[in-house]
Structure 1
């Protein structure tokens, strides 16, 4: 209730990107305060054994994590984890630093509980992110690293650009994500075509496989792919032995400001793509569902439909700082009501 009043009377009246940057700075400060960070982590992070999930050889304390797009420079993952997320996907990070698109580039659609962004992969580059990722973590947190194409790099050199990022970041990541689905880098979504995606993923996978612990590799796809293209990516993921698919990124199928739409309007299509992927790949690779996740009902539904992990971002904006902690607590209670010994028992039950 307090956050709802704060959002209604203060935050929604401020520029969305300004609020975003101030929040990142506050969480980065929290990450540098060991006692407070550990106290919050003890109180808010998921610790209930019933919530534990294993995916691609990595152990997660719960299924709900923060999607890429918030912590673009790996600046505050520990602060985010202290608020109740089981994992944090940082990025999207590009091989070279870039400023992104001109402002304004982040817009709230409050009645729809949605956000439109055309950020354009603004980040300080892979070298700066690697420096932050090398820091010792004061609280346990699974950190995925999401990499994308530098805007000025032509499509013909895209694979080499992704490989440059992977070489710096894969050894420091708990898992690595190839993002070919943002609508805000010209030509990026063209890389989802299997003819272009196969050599790109093959090259990045060689780097990921060669790290000391073998870094799991996933690909993130758009909700706007035609069904037959979703099927083709699923088949390619199996062919190459990828560890997972993240579905979905933002959609360009909306009216209003140019950019990718996230939040409630994406819910139906994201769930539809998840179900289609599960039908194609079964439990042979991990599926991570993101898009329109707002509450415990959404997380539960995604797990039943075949997702091993679920991610949110826009739901956190509207739900407040304790959003993830609240959903994990509700999820544990619901699992006990259904008399399951672990949350993994329900994964794919309705697939």
Structure 2
């Protein structure tokens, strides 16, 4: 039976670490529920399209395997929506499809540890979190082995980047690495791994976010597009940490910076009180290459505040006070930002 308020059993997702069956009460608005089920129903018969390799970073449409990779990445949103739909509605068709996606991708894909190519694996991990107790022991073990491999590789790359001394070390790439590592820690119920994720997060907030809330990528790219692209994964990491009982939104770094300050820094632009012309002084050559190739998001033009829709709907899961701003862009949250976490905190 369809419900607008539903309870989920999520393996260790809400309190960390505990037994593998933790109950949580989650609410979803009727409009969100209807769209979620409609989307899952519409795509239910689409076959998974796993690939051994994905590569979109640093390339353009039509180059290499960009187009094939972009098409295949659509599977990650589909599997997560199927997992959410099953959790909300109890329809085992959605569970079966989500299981199929997980098994086919983890059995075919070869991790390359490029966080731009692989950032959508965050949805793969969240799918596993939602349905892990519905997998067979063999399926669960196989997926956990895949996640251990993912976490180990990204941990090494995070440390290598931190120790490289390279100027780009704390850019958006590191934010996407930390998101994937944090989600894996929560999915695997690994307290030591989550502690390490917190260390990584603290270092990134210190190195990437200035005390005034502006982020490193803004100065490198001269683009608010890269502010949102940097902050979305950090916010997703903070949501995962919140589900494990930790507050990363207001966690202050050694430089005095916080994730909240960065999210707040963008608010005047999102509200339209400030404007910014994108990419005028970008220091990155590839921004010019994409602009000359006609990539719409890379053109020298005023930043569209709608680019912050996902960020503020995600941030609203950490603090309800961001919800009016998020809703001013789009009345309902993007389906792939829906999640089941503890009650939102008002401040």
Q: TM-score, normalised by structure 1?
A: 0.31
Q: TM-score, normalised by structure 2?
A: 0.31
Higher-strand-fraction structure:
1
